[in-house]
Structure formats: structure tokens, C-alpha cells
Amino acid sequence: MPGWAACRLSRGAERSSLRSATMTVCVHRERRVVPTDTETVPNRRGRPRSIETERAVLEGAYALMAAEGLAATTIDAVARNTGVSKVTIYKWWPSREALLIDAFLRKASSLLPMPHEGDPVSLLRSHAGAYAEALNGEFGRVQLAVVAECIAKTGSGRLFAERYLDVRRNIGVRIIRAGQRTGRIAATRSAEELYDQIYGTLFYQFTFGLRRLSAAHARSLVSAVLASG
């Protein structure tokens, strides 16, 4: 074979080898996953969150809010106290406010569960009574702080409503509608209006210190609102 031909073949083999090596590196780079912590985290293909990690973040955030206040409950502080990386936290919550609300929602769900079955009036009387008592303690202080933070950052409390209030309000509204259908609840106004009158009154009285709330007061309020026309 002539020397120039052999040289061309040699150079062609080198280029082919280089392209192959480059493709191999690219494939390895595409497949490379950098873990953000020791827990299972979601990727862009929709893998589920680690339940344990999510619980640790939410419980850690609420504990910080309750013990040290909202100012101290930064993403850095939550990451430091829970051992979950900031990358993971920012991946799961779009903002600090969203994290604070979700942490509060988790606490509310465990402290004030809204049952779905049973006598509608009894369910609401029991829940409203527990809510009134909770407002007098740590739970009430944290709720006010979270709402204030949302308003300060976004100009309204809509974020709090979307991530917390709407969830629980919808359950309460369904309970009231069920009671209206069976005749257990005499009030004929919309279920939304009745729910807002009960819980709006309690929150208003608590927020502005108009009275010391009690479970008995809340239960009486529920009975009065649901019995009215």
C-alpha cells in the first residue's frame, strides 16, 4: 500500500477513535447523577419524593417557627437542622413562604384532623372547638406569623389560601352540604358562606383579641350558624 494511503487510513482511524471516545464521554456525562443528600430525591422524570425526607423538612421547619420565630426559619436553618440539602429543599418548594405554609398545613392536619364521616353538626362542633383551643397556643401564634409573612412578601394572603385554607375549607364545605341534603343542617345559605361565618368569626376574634376563645364558645357558634335560616 502506498505511504500516503496508509497515512490517510491512520488519520481516519484516529478521527473515528476520537469521535467514539467523545460520544462515550457524553453518554457517561448524561447518565451521571449527582446526589444532593442520602435520601431519595425526585429528578426531572418525576421520581417520587422521599417521604422520610419530606417529613423531616416540614417538621423541622415548623419546630423552628414555633421555637425561634419566622425570622429564624430560613432555608439555611432548616437545611442545617434537618440535614437535608438546600438543593433538595429548593427543588421541592418554590419559595420559603410555600415551605412555611406546607409545614403549618402538616401540623394542622395532625393537630386538627377534619373527619369525613359522622353527623355533620357534631363533626363541625368538635373541629371548631379544637381549632379555638389551638389558636390560644403555639399553633395560633405560628398561624398569624405565616399569614403575615405571606401578605408581606406577596401583597395578599392568597398563597396561604391556595396551599392551606382551600384544602380544609373544601372539606368543611362538603360536610355542610351533606348536612343540608339530609336536613340535619337547617341553614339554607350556601355552604361556603356558612363555613366562612364560623371559621372567619373565630379567626377574626382571635386575631384582634376581641375575646378569649374557648371550645364551648366555638361549639355554640357552630350550632347558632347552622341552625339559622
Q: Compute the distance between CA of residue 38 and CA of residue 117 in angstroms, rounded to an integer.
A: 40
Weakest-pLDDT range from 20-29, 68-77, 180-189: 20-29
The whole model's pTM is what?
0.74
Average model confidence (pLDDT) for the chain?
A: 83
Which pLDDT tens digit goes with each residue over 80-129?
Answer: 999 999 999 999 999 999 999 999 999 999 999 988 789 999 999 999 99
Which pLDDT tens digit goes with each residue over 131-163?
Answer: 999 999 999 999 999 999 999 988 999 999 998
Residue 44, pLDDT score = 37
- Give the CA angle between residues 97, 154, 199 to the nearest 5°: 75
In this prediction, residue 48 has a pLDDT band, given cuts at 50, 70 and 90, of low
Higher pLDDT, 24 or 186: 186
What domains lie within the chain, and their CATH numbers?
107-227 (1.10.357.10)
**What's the mean pLDDT in 198-216?**
97
